[in-house]
Structure 1
Amino acid sequence: MTTFEGIPMARTPAGHTLVNATIDEIHEKSLLRKSLRRFDLVFFLICTVVGLDTIGAVAKNGAQGFTWLIFLAVVFLVPYGLLMAELGSTFPFEGGPYVWCRLAFGRFVAALVTVLYWCSNPIWLGGTLTILAVSAFSDFVTPLHGPAEVVFALAFIWFAVASAIVSFRFGKWVPSVGAFVRLAVVGFFTVSVLLYAARNGVHGFDAPAFAPGYAVFIAVVPVLIFNYVGFELPSSASEEMVDPRRDVPRTIAWSGAGAVLLYGLPVLAILLVLPASRVTGVGGFLDAAKEVLTVYGGTVSPDGTVTLTGTGKILGAVTAAAFIWALLSSGTTWIMGADRAQAAAGFDGAAPRALGRISPRFGTPVTVNLLSGVVSTVVMLVAFRLSGGSADRYFTIALGVAISTTTMSYLGIFPTLVRLRRTHPDEHRPFRVPGGMTGAWIAGSLTTFWAVVATVWLLWPGLGVDWFGASGNPDQALPAGIGRAAFELIQVVPVVLLLAIGVLFYVLGAPTRTRRAAPGEVSATDERGMAPDER
């Protein structure tokens, strides 16, 4: 063992040498604290993968939404889980996706990918999660308008940011409690649907309703891909885990099985209670919950208006509070993980050095956390203004931007498995995707294919519905009241802007890249092996 500027150093177990590691990286990693155990990771992943915000967006496509949910669980979720289990256990380094891209394709590509990956989350927090929280409070507690709506949204956003700032020792309880809340909400909702069905009957659907169709396929696939991603997120905090090599593959398996169940049950329940024509993206889960809660007290008028009374009203308020907490824990968890990936880029020289600061007090990337809060606040204010008071329009626009930036980032993450199999063949792999290189190619190709498909259909909704003699109007896939030109502008401009920011971040990271640690040495907490020709 040797030391470099007073910090313990060692070679990697696999015999690789650390090339182009920065002095800043070594210093910042010395401030990290190990506090994530297997128990924490299971609930962290449940909060990451199972989001209640998009259940309505799936259910509004009718029974076909459930068909495609199961289909993508097989052709996307399974290979995706295998891929992330290998990467997360083989390369357990702070920054996760950033490090994998950096190892596979170099700092510049990693800089672009990480900006998309990071910034999609404050867009999501300030967009879809905030409007759903506002809607839940307005529908079940008291209506929010004007300044009250903005104050509530600000409190929602900055509580999530504050939870990401505090030490993982305390902050990890937000996703842990959020996971339990999810289980309680979905369980209570499902039981209430059974009681509702026994008393009032159900809307129901026949077998042909599950038959797949192209128009629904292209509408629901991007949302389902967005639902299922997140297995890599805890790996952004790998060096804060107690035993990532053992825990990552197991927790991915458990949370993957739970994700299918926790998405499938409420989607089916919503379709049993409400006809697809009455389900909206923003209100699907909330509208169905409100109607089934009438079994405890309340009425449904002939025009579908629901009024809760007595116990039903009390349970409605409790359900809304639990729903808001579930949304909050989703946003907090993603901010925690994605911000660490961006911080890793900062202390590695692929972003401004200031973004790579780890707080000595909390052991968290406070600067990036605060920047995420600022971005979320701006997105919220802009989206409120652009939506013209339409919650559903705001939800659709914000969700589209959040999903497209997310899926584009995975275009740089998914291919790293095959690349790292070739460039780092001697790394110890506690878990391998079965089937050797063929299995790696299948997992990498399937996941990348679906990321491409989701991105294309998000950037151009309705693509292909009028091809090959098929009937339909592609513009019907657009949000109501928004033309094609306006929609494309709203979707494309943020992507171009984020890519430009990625280039700028890389340029601003140049001074950090010059402060290299001694060749052939690596901090005792970092077992990463890098190829000598890596840029």
Structure 2
Amino acid sequence: MRDTETPPLSAPSGRKGPDSPDLSEGWGEQRGRLRKDLRRLDVLFFLICTLVGLDTIGSVAAQGPQGLTWMAILALAFFLPYGLLVAELGSAFPVQGGPYVWTRLAFGRLTAGLNQILYWISNPVWVGGSLCIIALTTWEEFFTPLPGVWKYAAGLVFIWGGALAVVQAVRFGKWVPIAGAVARIVLLGFFLVSVVVFAFEHGVHALPAGEFTPTYAGFIALVPVLIFNYVGFELPSSAAEEMTNPRRDIPLSILRSGLASIVLYGGPILGILFVLPGKEIGSLGGFIDACKAVFTVYGGHIAADGTVTLSGAGSVFGGIAAAGLIIGLLTSGVTWAMGAHRAQAVACADGVGPAWLGKIDEKRGTPARVNLLSAALASALFVLALNLTEGDGEKYFAAGLGLTISTTFISYVITFPSLLVLRRKYPDTARPYAVPGGRLGAWVVTTLATGLVAFTVVVLIWPGFGVGWFGTEGNAADSLPPSFAGQRLAYTLSQVLPLALFLVIGLVFYALGTKTRRAKG
């Protein structure tokens, strides 16, 4: 029943069923350089750092109270099925490379290779795009302006600082997601405490019950960022052979981190809605502006026109919070990179990319070459985007975030159905955790997860898809990011052209892996 184009790949654990795939070819040479330094608590912090995104909190809050309603709906319709799906795949096939290996076993090298390019390249797009611009905006809001060349210098420091963290050995590198998770918990917890203090002193904005009513237009606007903040469960599986017990730790960490992320993500959104008037919440600066407003309770004031000035302890706490936010943004990119880069290295070692990119550094046990290439790409994208948008932060943010999400989600459209295919191809593989409900349960979770990410890709490429159809209210043009108002063609090209380029890169990588594939026979 095995795909003849997919030579078997082998889980090192030894705990396999009689029909388990052998995953030794292509990766075996590099396996001995890995270090088993990831324990259960490390994986939990890794996932919290991955799931709790600080760059999209403002985007959700900008849509008003219905954002919380859609957040709850999608927690059941997407987050839960997606978590169940990844828990089975990650525990049944605990092999370095995670998502690449699953799609490779299910659909063959070519499909998996192209899919992996999209999954990997979304990270430099994200780091050089929305993460970088929010970090720079935060710095300018709380510290000092970055005129001219200083903005480029600061962005490159952010990108290469992250690259330096990613390239470190796991026993050192794992402290980055741990620090990121702690920074999130402290920052978001302190923000919520400050909101309570602010509410006692100044009151809060009323949130009428009617504003929580979900609408289709709101769904179209929110589904990309909400689902984007619900993904990342598969990342630890990319480092499965660096875990002490992946079969046990992956499912358990998914459950715990999923519950934590809903609390850590939903609380700040509610806090922003209480503090800022709806019309003043921006996608880029919503969370930043809310922090400044609530910290006036420690020192500072809000002028009649809404301008916030911090002083004394308020200024100190504002600076600390800004540093925490920047650390949170940086560690988001680093944590995703730690997973996506490892998967790309496995893919290259397996013959769907340049063999030299598949090498694991003997001293550090990490894919140093992929890490450095990713940092170079992020730097180039950062400089290019900043010039194309003429320094317009909102436009840069909207285009970069949209491209990051669509690129990642197209890869998920291929990865998620692997669950059904691998159940058929390897029915006797030991599955420490399996999606409840047998075949029907597997079909339900796969359909929900795959269908929602596929729909999200359509919505991102064509904002407003379906708005005004079948009696729904609204105008499709209003769904464009505000920074692209009246510029649908420009926005669509900012998404489609890079996606086409990424697929070409995938084909080039596949061609460059020909020698490796032939050597394996």
- Following TM superposition, by how much is the alpha carbon of 1:38 offset from its aligned partner in structure 2, in angstroms? 0.2
Q: Deviations over 1:306-337 (max 9, x none)?
A: 00000000110000000000111100000110
- Following TM superposition, by how much is the alpha carbon of 1:514 offset from its aligned partner in structure 2, in angstroms? 2.1
Q: What is residue 311 of structure 1 aligned with on the other side?
A: 313
- Structure-1 separation of matches of 2:311 and 2:342: 45
User: Do the aligned partners of 2:99 and 2:234 also contact (CA within 8 Å) in 1?
Assistant: yes
Match 1:14 to one of 5, 13, 17: 17
- Following TM superposition, by how much is the alpha carbon of 1:10 offset from its aligned partner in structure 2, in angstroms? 11
- Following TM superposition, by how much is the alpha carbon of 1:25 offset from its aligned partner in structure 2, in angstroms? 1.8
Aligned letter for 2:375?
G
- Structure-2 separation of matches of 1:229 and 1:468: 31
User: Do the aligned partners of 1:11 and 1:17 also contact (CA within 8 Å) in 2?
Assistant: no
User: Do the aligned partners of 2:217 and 2:473 also contact (CA within 8 Å) in 1?
Assistant: no
Which stretches in structure 1 are left out of the alignment for 5+ residues? 1-8, 518-535
Match 1:508 to one of 487, 492, 512: 512
Q: What is residue 222 of structure 2 aligned with on the other side?
A: 220
1:33 counterpart SS class:
coil
Aligned letter for 1:436?
G
Q: What is residue 119 of structure 1 aligned with on the other side?
A: 121
Change (3 A) 1:19 1:508: farther
1:434 counterpart SS class:
coil
Q: What is residue 533 of structure 1 aligned with on the other side?
A: none
- Structure-1 separation of matches of 2:408 and 2:339: 14
User: Do the aligned partners of 1:123 and 1:398 also contact (CA within 8 Å) in 2?
Assistant: yes
Aligned letter for 1:361?
K
Q: Deviations over 1:459-484 (max 9, x none)?
A: 10011112224443212222335311
1:335 counterpart SS class:
helix
Change (3 A) 1:202 1:20: closer
- Structure-1 separation of matches of 2:262 and 2:15: 38
Q: What is residue 34 of structure 2 aligned with on the other side?
A: 32
1:375-394 correspondence to structure 2 within 5 Å: 375-394=377-396
Aligned letter for 2:507?
V
- Following TM superposition, by how much is the alpha carbon of 1:235 offset from its aligned partner in structure 2, in angstroms? 0.3
Q: Deviations over 1:279-307 (max 9, x none)?
A: 11110100000000000000100110000
Q: What is residue 232 of structure 2 aligned with on the other side?
A: 230
Q: CA RMSD in A?
A: 1.5
- Following TM superposition, by how much is the alpha carbon of 1:510 offset from its aligned partner in structure 2, in angstroms? 1.3
Q: What is residue 495 of structure 1 aligned with on the other side?
A: 499
- Structure-2 separation of matches of 1:96 and 1:493: 28
Match 1:328 to one of 322, 327, 330: 330
**Highest RCO, 1 vs 2 (Cα 8 Å, sep ≥ 6):** 1
Q: What is residue 106 of structure 1 aligned with on the other side?
A: 108
**What stretches of structure 1 move > 3 A for 4+ residues in a row?**
9-13, 15-22
Aligned letter for 1:419?
V
Normalising by structure 2, report the TM-score.
0.95
Match 2:359 to one of 357, 360, 364: 357
2:309 counterpart SS class:
strand
User: Do the aligned partners of 2:20 and 2:430 also contact (CA within 8 Å) in 1?
Assistant: no
Q: What is residue 84 of structure 1 aligned with on the other side?
A: 86
Change (3 A) 1:16 1:438: closer
- Following TM superposition, by how much is the alpha carbon of 1:178 offset from its aligned partner in structure 2, in angstroms? 0.8
Q: What is residue 427 of structure 1 aligned with on the other side?
A: 429
1:147-296 correspondence to structure 2 within 5 Å: 147-296=149-298
Q: What is residue 417 of structure 1 aligned with on the other side?
A: 419
Match 1:395 to one of 397, 400, 404: 397
More off after superposition, 403-412 vs 497-506: 497-506
Q: Deviations over 1:62-83 (max 9, x none)?
A: 0011110111001100011111
Change (3 A) 1:18 1:38: closer
Aligned letter for 1:77?
F
Aligned letter for 2:512?
L
Aligned letter for 1:512?
T
Match 2:369 to one of 364, 367, 371: 367
Q: Deviations over 1:121-148 (max 9, x none)?
A: 1100110000011011110111112111
Match 1:41 to one of 25, 40, 43: 43
- Structure-1 separation of matches of 2:444 and 2:161: 41
Aligned letter for 1:497?
L
- Structure-2 separation of matches of 1:18 and 1:291: 56
- Structure-2 separation of matches of 1:241 and 1:260: 25
- Structure-2 separation of matches of 1:259 and 1:20: 33
User: Do the aligned partners of 1:121 and 1:338 also contact (CA within 8 Å) in 2?
Assistant: yes
Q: Deviations over 1:40-72 (max 9, x none)?
A: 000000001111110001000000111101110
User: Do the aligned partners of 1:21 and 1:516 also contact (CA within 8 Å) in 2?
Assistant: no
User: Do the aligned partners of 2:20 and 2:428 also contact (CA within 8 Å) in 1?
Assistant: no
- Structure-2 separation of matches of 1:351 and 1:162: 23
- Structure-2 separation of matches of 1:388 and 1:66: 34
Which stretches in structure 2 are left out of the alignment for 5+ residues? 1-11
Q: What is residue 304 of structure 2 aligned with on the other side?
A: 302
Q: What is residue 67 of structure 1 aligned with on the other side?
A: 69
1:154 counterpart SS class:
helix
1:307 counterpart SS class:
strand
1:143 counterpart SS class:
coil
- Following TM superposition, by how much is the alpha carbon of 1:36 offset from its aligned partner in structure 2, in angstroms? 0.3
- Structure-1 separation of matches of 2:15 and 2:318: 55
User: Do the aligned partners of 1:21 and 1:348 also contact (CA within 8 Å) in 2?
Assistant: no
- Following TM superposition, by how much is the alpha carbon of 1:16 offset from its aligned partner in structure 2, in angstroms? 4.5
Aligned letter for 1:504?
V
Q: Deviations over 1:157-197 (max 9, x none)?
A: 11111111010110100100110110001100000000000
- Following TM superposition, by how much is the alpha carbon of 1:376 offset from its aligned partner in structure 2, in angstroms? 0.6
- Following TM superposition, by how much is the alpha carbon of 1:203 offset from its aligned partner in structure 2, in angstroms? 1.1
- Structure-1 separation of matches of 2:468 and 2:444: 31
- Structure-2 separation of matches of 1:480 and 1:191: 31
Q: What is residue 521 of structure 1 aligned with on the other side?
A: none
- Structure-1 separation of matches of 2:367 and 2:499: 24
- Following TM superposition, by how much is the alpha carbon of 1:86 offset from its aligned partner in structure 2, in angstroms? 0.5
Normalising by structure 1, report the TM-score.
0.93
- Structure-1 separation of matches of 2:512 and 2:424: 31
More off after superposition, 166-175 vs 504-513: 504-513
User: Do the aligned partners of 2:420 and 2:443 also contact (CA within 8 Å) in 1?
Assistant: yes
- Following TM superposition, by how much is the alpha carbon of 1:150 offset from its aligned partner in structure 2, in angstroms? 1.1
- Structure-1 separation of matches of 2:306 and 2:411: 41
